[in-house]
Structures are given as C-alpha cells and as structure tokens.
Structure 1
Amino acid sequence: MKNTYPNFVEIIKFTALTFDLQPKCMKELDDLEGNVVVDPHKVNYLFDTGIKGRFEHLVGKDIGGLLSNKFRLILDDYISLVSKVDVSGLRREQVISPLVECFLISHILSIFDLPFMSQLKATPSFILTCERSAVVEILEWLSKTNPQSIKAMTKEDRDLVLAWRKGQYIPSSSSLSRLIDNDLHRTYILIACSLERLKKFEYGKALVVSTRSRLLGLKPKAISFVTAASNLQSHLKPRLDKFGRDICIVQDKLRRTKAKSPEDKIATDFSLKHLEKGYSCDELPNSSYFVHHHRARWHVYCGNLDQANVEYEKTINLAALMAGEEQRGILKEAKAVAACLNSPDKVFLKKIRWIEQIFRYDIESVERAEPSNKFTDTIEDWELDLWKQSFYGLFPKDGFFPGCDYPEITLRTGFISMTDEDSRITIDLKNPNKKVWLGLNKQKKTHQLIWFSEKGDVDSVKALLDAGASVDVKSDVDETPLIFALQAMNLSEKFGPIDASLFKLISNHPHKAESINSRTQKKRMTALSLAVRTGKLWVVQKVLSMGADVHQLSGSDRQTALNLAMKSIALLKDIEKVIKVQREPDDSDIAVDSFRRETSGLFGADLENNRKVRNAFLNEFNLYGDDHMLQWHENLKKHSSVRELIDIARELIFAGSDPNAEHETPLKGYTPLMLAAENDEKELFEMMIQYGGDPFKSFFQPLMRRNLDSYEIMSLWRQKRAWDAA
C-alpha cells in the first residue's frame, strides 16, 4: 500500500519521467520509491544525479542550474509541508487533489517567472492548454520567431520533426539534444514536452487547466493546504464518533505523566483491541499509526521495551508520511526506547535519525558527503547515552502500570571518570597494547596508552611507546594520544601550566594519516585545530608536517583551522569586540547543536529544547560568559602574540587552507578572508588574495538585509572604528 503523501524519491522519479531526463540512477529510483525511510544523503544524491545533473547536461549549466534550483526549492517546500501537516485518516487520492491545487500550481507558476522565460515574448498561457499540444504551440512559435532553431539534416530527422509539428509524437530529450543547438530554445520545447507528458498522468490535465486559469486571473487563489486537509478530515467525524470512547480512554490513560491503576492496564488494552479491529476492517481508514503508537506506550508502561520497540517501528513506518508535526514527539519516544534495549536497535535508530534530518527536526551528527548504511556514519556514541538519559524524562516511573518492572538503564559516559582504583592502574610493558577497565562499575575499556596520555603521565607513555605500543590507538570517542598531548597546551581551555613535554614525545613517533586526522565525537576536536589553539607556530608546523588535513572542519561549530587562527587574532587584538560579537544572537541549528555538544547534552537530546534553553541563558545569564573568553585572551597574551598568530595563519595558507571556505556560524557564509577584512589584517588579506581568495565573494548580512563582500566589510568596519574613536 502506498503512503498517504507521495514520498520524496517518488517526487524525484516523477520529475525525471515528466521531463524525460533519462537519469542513470533510474533503477535506484525504482528500487527506493516504495521505501518510507531513505538516507537524506541518498535523496540528495538522487536529486543531484537524476535532476540537477541531467538538466545541466540537456540545457546547459546556466539554465539547467536555474531549473534545478527551482525544483530543489519545490522539493524542500514539499518536505517542509509533509513534516508539519497531518493528513491522518485520509487516503492518497484524497490528498493528491489539494496538493495539486493548493501547493503545486503556485510552484509551477513560479517556473514561468524564471529570467529566461521572459524571452518567450508571449504569455506562457499559450502552452498551458489542453485543447492543443503544447509542443505544437511552441514549435509554431519558434518557426515564426526563430526559423533556424531546428536543424533536421537527414530525411529521417525531417520526418521526425514533422511528426512533432503534427502532435503525433512528444520529442524525447535525446532527440532535442541532437537536433537543437540553442539551449534556450531547447528549454522551451523541453518544458512544453513535460506539459504534454503531465497531461497523461492522473490529475495532470486538471493541473494544466488550473495553472492556466490562475495565470490568467480567471480562478481565485486556492485556500491553504492545511485548510484543505482539515476540511477533508472533518468528514471523518461520524466514523470517529463510533470509536470516540476508546480514543478518549487510550489518550487519557496512556498519557506519559499520568499515574495509573491496575484497572487502567485492562481498560486501555481492551480499547486498543477495539481500535485495532476498527482500522483492520477500514472503519478507521489510515489511522493505524495512532493505535500502534498507543500500543507502544502500553508496552512501555508494562516494562516490555522489546515489544514497545516493535510497535514504535510500525508507528513510524506509517506516521512518517502522514502524521505531520505529531511525529516529532513519536520520534523522541522511539529513540529513547530503541536506545534503552539491552542491545540497542541500531538499524531502527539510524532510520529515526534519517527522518529527523530529512524533515529538518535535527541536523546530522556525523558529517559526510556520501550515502551510507553504517550506524557510525549517522550516530555518535554519546548520542546513544543522551537518548537513554531521556527515557525517564519521557516516561516517568509514576506513569508505569503498578507491579511492572522499570527498565534498568546502563549509561556509558563519553569521558573516563577517575576513581581511586583507576588511579592505581600500573602499566603492563609485556603487553603494551593491552586495554584496561575503568569507571565505577568497570563499564569502560580503553588502551593503556590512551589512559596514561589523558592523565598526562609522560614517563608511563614513554615506557609504553618504548615497549612497542601503537601510537595510532583511539578511545571509544575517537580521542588519540596526540589529541591528549595537544590538550595539555590548549590555551582556550587551560587554566593551569602549559606542558609541551607529552606532545614532543608523541609527535616524534610516525602516525597513520587516519590517526593524525581523527576527530573526536561531541566537540569534534582535531589535532590541527588544537595545534592552532596552542598559539605556537612550531606546534602547528609539526602537526602539518605529520600530515594534518587543512580543510577538515573542527569544533562543535564546524570551522577550519584558518578560520580559528583568524578568530584567535581578533580575540587577542580586541577582546571587547569579540565578546560583543559573541553575545549577538545566532539561532542557527549549528549554533544550537554547538551548545548541545559543549554542554554535553545537559539540557537533553532534543534540538528544540536546547534552543529554548540556550536563548533563555543568552538573554538572562550571558551563558558564553565573558570569563572563558577573558581566560583565553590572557593565555594568548602570556604564551603567544599577534605576530605568532599571524604566522600561524600564513603557515596554514601556505599549506593550502581555503581563504574562501564558508562557515555557518555566527554569520552564515563568512570566510577567513572576510575575517581578515573585518579585523584590518592587511598582510593576511593580501596574502589570501594571492592564494585564491575572492574579495568579491559575499555573504548575506541579516541586519542590513543585503549582501556584503570583503571590500565592503573592510570599509564598514573602518567607518565603525572611526565613529567609535570619535
């Protein structure tokens, strides 16, 4: 059975068929169109391969880029619609009609607003007609305005074009590529062909007629899709009334925070069975996710998480393309349950994260460019603990049925907590790569070298390395001995003495590239970013010589090492300005995720809850308090200098770091070159331009509501400094 909403792979496939794009990924589109959940990177790949790449191949990069951007916007708007609007109780055929009228028509009309469409020099309505072929209309128009458009050289080609003109065939995209040289003319015919194919689909003719009527002002603007869906759902009331008592019972008695009696368990079980019977005989059409969801809760309150997990998976498979905003809460509950199983359901958790990412409920944890089915390419270990921690917040013990066992939840911390027993661990030089158990309940195991590196025990680390211990080992959150050695010199966090001895020892041992560029989970620390945070040129040079990747993003706010160096210069030169900028609001998802990571998930796993807490703290308590910045500033003054930081930036530029690399926060699209302009770093600004920096590259300034390039940034900041000085 198809989902109520068409899924996103179906949308891509439908677009490819309508325009005859003939993508190489068509088999993948066929295979995946029935899947409820698809890796968002796979959706992006299918769009880029099946639509963007094909449009650019068929009509050139300029026009193809405009068309593909338009269709990407349509897809994104559709994803947003599906993520918010509940259509439960409705069948697909009931949803398609209002989707066409209330959503799709306005987007099709916007295609005719693209710049190249103005060159038709005639109203687009002449091809939006069901009386005649759009292909015939556009070919007649081209024959009058551009008679040399079609180059039919052979008799077969001339016969083919004649058949087009008579409306006997719809031109294929490959024929258009072969017979029409002009990208613009090919585009017009391609759009006309898509309209003809569209008419062959169900609802296609109605779509064309309605679009034409709206374009000519003959039809009023449609009501919103939300209103249309709600109007359709209102007709379900007589059916729902029959089950109203059961619906009220399960909704009330299975509330997460409601204290329950022994009788509640029996009553809710009876009502759920009655509702299950109702949807199985289609008396309650397309509402089964509601029953599965409450049956899942029922199992949770019985202490049976395994069966609850099965029901949550059924719920999400049904709700993901039906339940709208309600699925956010369902996903949170399902994550907590799947994570708390004796053996966490990693396959299901991965699917949940894909849904959250594709619907923009959360952002990806593990940055990647390619689709992947590996759990570790979607979820980090610390997130699993966060979801476990959220369990009793979502399902308080008071809400369980009396006499049922509470699930035992074992948490693994993302750091090694030292106990008296841990501190007495001695090295085993006969087995230098041996692992040791740590923590209060011996719940964590790590390499000896990792443990003694974190402790900063240089003598033990040297003894292990001399005994043959591998320097390329990692902790379970991807910390390496090199990262621990650099942390001992980290000026942004260090409040005690700075010690370079461990780094000097470890960095003299050859490292594998994977180890050099290992990035920790949660805070995303890398060796190169930590080297920059030492404020020491020789440390940065050493890490670069070991093979560090200058393009790698690091930190919870995802920035390049060069960007970090530029920020360090600004911090040392003008601490007051940096603190002022730091206080400016940034409500982006990356900024909120950074807060979640930096606070170790103290305020829960949910992005929106972290956003609320973060904003409240920023407004009331200046969370990113000045103390941290002031301490970093003092450490830089004591252990580094502006000159040395400039030399670090120069070294990174020499090594190939990109002056045009765009960053997400605190200003989306800001680059290291823009930072050089803002801080009037003439030497670095000129050097960056010499190494490929683009001074005319711009970003959108939200307060000024316009784009600014590096020269404008430099001018504005110079004016501001002069004004402040006056």
Structure 2
Amino acid sequence: MTIQPTTATPPYPRLGELYSALAQALDTKSNNRDVERLAREGDSDWSLLSDLREALILTPLRKYGADDEFIHHLDQFIKHVHASYLRIVSTISLDGMSRDEALPILIEHFFAFQAIGILKAVWTDDAPDPAAFLNPEKYPLEVVLDWADGSHTLGKAAFPDTADLDNREKVTRWANGTQLPDLGSLKLFLDALAKNGTDAQRKKVPGLRKWLLLARALTWFEREANPLHLRQIMNRHIRNGHQQWDIGKILSLAAIEAGKKLEMLKEPFGKLFVGLSRTKPKADGDRARAEADLADFAGQLATHDPEGRSRYALEWYRGRWYVLSGQCDRALEHYRQAVALSDYRAGATWKEIVGEAMALAGYLGNAKPFLKQLKHRAIALELMATPMDEKKAVEDWELEELRKQFHHLFPPQGRFVEVEQPKNKMGALPFLMYDTESLAKRAPNYRKPDQRVGVRTVDNQIRRWSQLSRHASFGSVDVVRRLLEKGASVDLLDDSDGSALLGAIQRAADRNEREVLDLLLAHPHNIKTLNQRTARKRLTPLISAIDYGEPDVVAKLLEMGADPNLRGHVDDQTPLYLCIRNMGGQRAAQSIRTMVLKSLSGDRDGVVRETLRRYGVGVAGVFGDKQSMFDAMRNPAGHEIFKVVTDRVVDDFLRRHTVEKQLQIARSLLAHGANPNASHAYPAAGRTPLMLAVENDTPEAVELLMQHGGDPFARDAAGHDCRVHANGFRSGNVIQHFQQIGVM
C-alpha cells in the first residue's frame, strides 16, 4: 500500500494556489474543484492546468463583458507570469525556508513587479490617474468611480428607483472601502448604468468595466498581502524605472541565510553525497558505511529540522541506497516520498530527483501509475512536452527510453560490490545496435511471407518486424522482390507503427539506394498505411519522402492517397511547410546549423528537448536537457568533429533540396489540396507556409502559394503578416514581387 507522505507546506505557492488567488481577486470562480485540487495536491494533472486559464479566468470575464483587447492582454500576462514563475521554481532551491519566509520576498520582488506590467499594458489616456490609483491613501475603487462621475452620482444614475436603494448603497460602500464588489454586482451596476445613465456616463461604461475589475483585484491582493503594503512596493518599483530585479539571486541569498539554522546537517549530508554517488566506484564496506550515515542523518534531521523541510534528502538517498544495493523495487517508495517532499521546494534538485525516479519506474516496468504521476508533474513544470495523445500520458516507447536512462544514471561501477546485482541489462546502451550475427542467421521464410520476426539488439532489446519491413529497411532488393511475388502484405506495421514503405524511403534517403522503394511504390497500399504516423518520431511516408527530396516519390505517394495536410515530425509540421523550409537554401542551411548547435548545447527549447528524447539520444538525459555533447564539443578535437559532421549534414541537405525540386514538390502538394495558410506552433507561433516562403525570399514559391489561396494578409500570433516578415527578413526579391502585385 502506498503511504502518502505528510509534507510541510512548501515555500513556493503551487500553481493551483496562484490560479486560485487570481480567480478570487477577479471573483471569476471562487469554487472550482480542479483548482482546489491543484492547490491542495500540486500538479497532479497537467491537463487541468492547461484548461485553468481559459475556464477559470477568461471565460467568466467574457461573460462579465470585458472587451477582447483586455482579455488578450490579460491572457498574455497570465502566460508570462506562469512561465516566469516556473523558471524560478525549477531552478532556485528554498530548502531551509518556510512559506512565511518565502512568500513576502516573492510578493515584493516578483509578483508586485509583474503586476505593474499588466497595468502598463492595459492603461490608456482615457483612464483614471495612475498615481491616484496606486496611492496607498486612496481606495482604488473610489478613484475609478470618481474618474467616471463619483460614486454617489453614478449609483443614483444606474439605480434611480427608490426600490433599488440597496444597490445604490452598495456602490457607495465600494467607494469607501467597506465592501468589495462581487463580479455579478459589478455587471449589474454597469449594465444598469449603460441603460439609465447620461450619454457622458454611458461612454464611460467600457472603461469602468475594465478599471473597476482591476481596482477590485488590486484591493483583494493588497488585503491578502498584509502586512506588506502592496501599492507602496509597486510605487517603489515604478520610481526605480520598473527595473528588473534578479529574483533568483535575492531568493538564493535568503535561502542561504535561512539555511544557517540547519548548519548541523551539512556534515552528515556531505557524507551521503559522497558515499551514495550514482557513478563513483564503490569499495568493500561502502554499503554498510552508507547505511550508518543514513541513520545518522535521520537522527540529525529529527533534532535540527523537526518541521521536515529537508526530509526529502533523506528519502532520496534512502532510495539511492536501495538502487545501488540492487533492490530497486524497495527504492521506489522512497523516491515517491522524496518527490512529494521536494516539490515546490528543492529547485533544480527536484528535477534531479524526478529524473532518477522516472528512470527507476521505467526500469521496473510495473510502476506505470507512479510514472504517470511523475510525467504529469514534469509536464506541468514544462520539463517535458505535452503528450501527442492526451489520453496516454506515458507512451510505450518511453518505458524503453527510461530503461536506457536508468543504466546511464546508475552504471554498474557505481553500485555496491557486496551484493549481487540484477542481470537485467536490457537497453543498457545509449544507442540502437542490432546483433549482426542474429540478423545473418535468420533466412527469409518464403512459405510464410507475412511472418513477423524478432530482431535482437546487442543489449537484448527485441524489435518485431514483418519480414518485408525488415528486408526493405536493410535494402535487400532480391528478398523484397521475392516476398512481394509470394504475396507479402505491404500494409503490415512494425512495433513503432512503421511500414515497409517508410523503411524503404528512409533507406533511400540515408544510402541513396531506391531500388527497394521503387518496388514497393509499384504496389497499391492501404490509405491507412500511407497516413500512419510512427509512435515515437511522428514520421509518415509523405513527410519522410519530402525529407528525401525526390519529386517523383512525393507525387506517387499523393496519387496513392497520402494526405497532403497530415502533420508529422516532433514539431508537428505539415508537408507543405516542411517543403518550403527545405527550399530555403543557405538560409535553411543556417537554420540547420543553429538547430544542431541547440541540440548539442544547453540552450534547448521544448521541441529540441522532446526531439532528443524521441530520437533516443541517451546522453541527453531523462528530460533531453543534459549538456554532455556540448561539453565534449568544447575541446578542440570535439569542436573539429562537430564542424565536420555539421558541414556534411548541411552539404547533403543543399544537394538534395534544390529550389527546383522543392517547387515541383510544392506544386504536387498544392494540386492535391495542401493548405498554404496552415498555422504552425513552431518555431514561431502562427507562422504559415506562405510566411516561410517570404522569409526564405523565394518569390517563385510565394507566387505559387498565392495562386492556391495563400493569404499575404494573414497574421501570426505576434500580429505580423507577410509584409512585416518581408521587411523584417530583408527579403528583397519578395518585396519587389509584392510591390508589383500591389500587396505592398
């Protein structure tokens, strides 16, 4: 039975608590079971977090009558604060601090600073005096009502009948600070004023709707921040020019100061840090010494840390002790407690604990519920991408990848020598290598052409393919021809949902050998096979054919029924977007160099990290963020290897993807219904194939896409259309073309 650990309130407020506070300040939904659960339990379900902003805040405000521009600014503000806060939580440890110690610092140096940002974004000339609004001696609601016409006048205008005296008096109480209005009462007042007020008063209603809401929120937050004086803090930020504070440094210094109370724990913790290193070779007696050190640390914690703020470290190292002892099943419960106790407390250490816990759960294979909980937390803190299939938080390939990470995190030399270690070495290598002897021994079975065969890797993994897929992937032309003659089905899929056709396209691209591909293209395929994405890398035959770069292959797949708009790759690109990207010549080549450098460095965005995970780059770590490759590249030999490899990748790309070939591919895609205005999330939100053609400065592609409905006036998420992109990327040829056809 799993025992839920009793945890001290973490120093960082949970995301659910922040959303709950914002909802209470705006009075959008004070009772929401999802937000209450997240505030109480932490990030137990990433999908709840993804819906909170809309369901908890924005939808109720639309019903209240807030205008679209205000909603947009508030939406961007919430996203920004959410992301900025997560960066702090996931990097800065507040080990020795309590909530009472941490929250005032966060309010003063983070939340108050962010609040000024939203006020600056929405403030207009037709608004209350901002100095009066932030004057601690005045009530914000009174300032807003006085700006419009005064609370007494407005209350009487909105509710002229004597039967409405209660509502009229409410407005007076709002102004004098004795009552905080609820959202329903605000809407009732504003709707009544729009109906019964004078022309001048009615003109003020749209502004009142916004400023009264902000005044209510500011008043609520100021009361909750007590004894801090929120508006005094905001005014101090404004006097300092709204200068960005180094909140990480401020919190770190505060944590160091608070940690002095736990000075006695440093020595026993240091012994565990050394003795329970995951990778350091162990000697006889180390296991017993580490066990004694754990007992000593537990005793010191009970004496010097009765609140249990550092207890996560004890559970973490207990878990490690069991792993290094070969008792992985017993380690799991300690890791479970370490994760819960370090959540919203341990900063970057929390990520390290979760990484080890996920690798352990993947290695065991029977701890999927716990692994699912960990993945939800990792997604919520933006350490991992949201699942492609929202119904399946943990995909099958991830178990395989996490087994690999387990062997990488806990190599044999780091384990205790006194105990016999498990012999399960499956997935121990950081790459996929087939057992060539096993491959050579297995002759094709022509009597059973659709037979599925297991192919063993050198680290004892098994891949199951149809005979046709296996021999197509290895380029065995005569065997493939014979299997097809014997009636082998081209529609059988392998373990990762790949087909023989996909394997043949990849072989043609990698080795410039297309005999097997031509054999398979001559056979009809089921539409489902043509449009099947692989589970891990999100590849389709059409996407892979565009990467290959041969127009006749793309045209043939489209004739056979491939969907021209089915997205693929980890970044969810349409075939047309990928085609236009490949058309970019030197600009595209530079983009490839940048992407390769990102994949090697620590400067990886979420898509690059997810790509490294899905492509099984073991040294990239559980979250795809380890810098091992970048560290190796820093020495002269590594740097030279990097340069040679990158140059070869770029040269091969430019050879295969000429403008002429890509234009032919684009014509085929457009002729079969590809959408030139399809919006993409990456690398820039809202970009379309037409925008990418503009960025690449290829007027031939721009003209072609516009002939098939491409809209040069469509805007991306930043509000920029093709004209802005043409100027921004200095696309002189496209600018000239736009001027000729009247777009610019």
TM-score, with length taken from structure 2: 0.80
Q: Which residue of 1 aligns with 2:126?
A: 119
Residue 480 of structure 1 aligns with an amino acid whose one-letter code is S
Question: Which one is further off, 386-395 or 74-83?
Answer: 386-395
| Corresponding residue number in structure 2 for 1:10 | 17
| Alignment of structure 1 residues 372-391 onto 2, 5 Å | 372-376=391-395, 381=397, 383-391=398-406
1:621/1:197 CA distance change after superposition, 3 Å: closer
Corresponding position: 1:520 with 2:534: yes
Q: Does the 8 Å CA contact 1:523/1:555 hold for their aligned counterparts?
A: yes
- Single out whichever of 323-332 and 462-471 deviates more from structure 2: 462-471
Distance 1:68 1:47 in 2: 8
Percent identity over paired residues: 22
Question: What's the secondary structure of 1:267's corresponding residue?
Answer: helix
* 2:537–2:615 Cα contact (<8 Å) kept: no
Residue from 181, 188, 196 that aligns with 1:171: 181
Q: Is the 8 A contact 2:73 2:118 kept in 1?
A: no
Aligned to 2:39: 33
Deviations 1:595-629 (A, max 9, x none): 73697415343423256258646676325533344
Judge conservation of contact 2:604–2:625 (CA < 8 Å) in 1. Answer: no
CA apart distance, 1:680: 4.5
Residue 710 (str. 1) matches residue 726 (str. 2) = yes
Alignment partner, residue 79 of structure 1? 86
Residue 650 of structure 1 is matched in structure 2 by 667
Measured in 2, the distance between the counterparts of 1:389 and 1:468 equals 38
Q: How does 1:481-630 map to 2 (within 5 A)?
A: 481-490=500-509, 493-506=510-523, 508-512=524-528, 515-544=529-558, 548-555=562-569, 558-571=572-585, 579=589, 582-584=592-594, 587-589=603-605, 592-593=608-609, 596=612, 600-601=616-617, 603-605=619-621, 606-609=624-627, 612=630, 616=634, 621-622=642-643, 624-630=645-651
2:149 paired residue number: 143
Alignment of 1:365-514 (within 5 A): 366-367=387-388, 371-376=390-395, 381=397, 383-412=398-427, 419-420=437-438, 424-427=442-445, 434-439=451-456, 443-455=462-474, 472-490=491-509, 493-506=510-523, 508-512=524-528
Q: Is the 8 A contact 2:29 2:57 kept in 1?
A: no
CA–CA separation in structure 2 for the residues paired with 1:488 and 1:223 = 51
Q: 1:140 to 1:121 in 2, by over 3 A?
A: closer
User: How far has the Cα of 1:301 moved from its partner?
Assistant: 2.1
Q: Secondary structure at the match of 2:317?
A: helix
Query: 2-side partners of 1:653 and 1:604: how far apart?
Result: 38
Which residue does the alignment assign to 2:371?
349
Distance 1:554 1:220, change over 3 A: closer
The one-letter amino acid paired with 2:420 is D
2:46 & 2:267 partners in 1: Cα distance? 40
Say whether the 8 Å CA contact 2:144–2:208 is kept in structure 1: no
- The amino acid across from 2:409 in the alignment is L
The answer to whether the aligner puts 1:286 opposite 2:305 as a matched pair is no
Could you say which residue in structure 2 is the equivalent of 1:246? 268
CA contact (8 A) 2:140 2:215 kept: yes
Call closer, same or farther: CA 1:627–1:198 in 2, change over 3 Å. Answer: closer
Runs of 5+ unmatched residues, structure 2: 1-6, 192-204, 737-744
1 CA distance for matches of 2:574 and 2:152? 51
Counterpart CA distance in 1 for 2:587 and 2:564 is 27
1:704 corresponding residue in structure 2: none
Aligned partner (choices 324, 334, 352) of residue 329 of structure 1: 352
Pick from 233, 240, 265: which aligns with 2:287? Answer: 265
Quote the offset at 1:333 in angstroms: 2.7
Q: 1:20 aligns with which of 24, 27, 30?
A: 27
C-alpha displacement of 1:69: 1.2
Please give the root-mean-square deviation of Cα atoms over the aligned residues, in Å.
4.1
Please state whether the residue corresponding to 1:286 is helix, strand or coil.
coil
Letter paired with 1:230 = L
Task: Look up the SS of the partner of 1:709 in the other structure.
Answer: helix
Change (3 A) 1:204 1:657: farther
Partner of 2:196: none
The number of equivalent residue pairs is 688
Distance 1:179 1:602, change over 3 A: same
Give matches, 1:212-223, under 5 Å.
Answer: 214=236, 217=239
Q: In the superposition, relative to structure 1, how do residues 629 and 399 fare at CA in structure 2: closer, same or farther (>3 Å)?
A: closer
Which string of whole-angstrom CA distances, capped at 9 and with x for unpartnered residues, describes residues 532-555 of structure 1?
245454543443455544444434
User: 2:537 touches 2:570 (CA, 8 Å); kept in 1?
Assistant: yes
Q: CA deviation at 1:653?
A: 3.3
Contact 1:198 1:205 in 2 (8 A): no
Aligned-partner Cα distance in 2 for 1:478–1:613: 35
Flag the 1:365–1:142 CA change in 2: closer, same or farther, 3 A.
closer
Q: 1:198 to 1:682 in 2, by over 3 A?
A: closer
Cα 1:173/1:687, change in 2 over 3 Å: farther
Partner of 2:40, secondary structure, is coil
Tell me the distance in 1 between the aligned counterparts of 2:568 and 2:411: 37
Could you tell me whether the CA contact under 8 Å between 2:576 and 2:666 is conserved in 1? yes
Q: Offset of 1:693 from its aligned partner?
A: 2.8
Answering whether residue 215 of structure 2 is matched by residue 208 of structure 1, we say: no
CA contact (8 A) 1:485 1:502 kept: no
Task: Quote the offset at 1:649 in angstroms.
Answer: 0.8
Give the structure-1-normalised TM-score.
0.81
What residue number does 1:694 align with? 712
CA distance in 2, matches of 1:164, 1:269: 68
Secondary structure of 2:453's counterpart equals strand
CA distance in 1 between counterparts of 2:122 and 2:531 reads 45
SS of match in other structure, 2:465: strand
How far apart, CA to CA, are the structure 1 residues paired with 2:531 and 2:15? 35
Q: 1:27 is matched by which residue type in structure 2? A: R
Change (3 A) 1:504 1:64: same
Shift in Å at residue 98 of structure 1?
Answer: 1.8
SS at 1:34's partner residue?
Answer: helix
- Cα deviation 1:502-547 (Å, max 9, x = unaligned): 33244x13333xx433323554321221232454545434434555
Alpha-carbon distance between aligned partners in 2 of 1:610 and 1:543, rounded to the nearest angstrom: 40
Give the whole-Å Cα distance in 1 for the aligned partners of 2:146 and 2:262. Answer: 55
Match of residue 190, structure 1, among 205, 210, 213? 213
1:45 matched to 2:72? The reply is no
Q: CA deviation at 1:498?
A: 4.7
Q: Residue 741 of structure 2 corresponds to which residue in structure 1?
A: none
Q: 1:534 to 1:294 in 2, by over 3 A?
A: closer
**Residues 698, 708 of structure 1: 8 Å contact kept:** no
Q: Deviation of residue 240 (structure 1)?
A: 3.5
Deviation at 1:219, TM superposition (A): 13
CA distance in 2, matches of 1:163, 1:698: 44
- Give the residue type in structure 1 aligned to 2:48: K
Q: Are 2:672 and 1:672 equivalent residues in the alignment?
A: no
User: Does the Cα contact within 8 Å between 1:386 and 1:604 map onto a contact in 2?
Assistant: no
Work out the CA distance in 1 between the residues paired with 2:693 and 2:647. 23
CA contact (8 A) 1:422 1:438 kept: no
* Alpha-carbon distance change, 152 to 627 in structure 1, aligned in 2, over 3 angstroms: same
* Contact residue 322 and residue 328 of structure 2 kept, 8 A: yes
The residue that corresponds to 2:740 in the other structure is none
Separation (CA, whole Å) in 2 of partners of 1:489 and 1:625: 21
Give the SS at the match of 1:608. Answer: coil
| Greater Cα offset, 417-426 or 283-292 | 417-426
What's the offset of the Cα at 1:712?
4.9
Could you report, residue by residue, the CA deviation over 1:472-505 in whole angstroms, capped at 9, with x for unpaired residues? 5432222123322433544xx3333454433324
Residues 552-596 of structure 1, C-alpha deviations (whole Å, 9 max, x = no match): 44345653311322244444xxxx665455435655426744873
The one-letter code of the counterpart of 1:486 is I
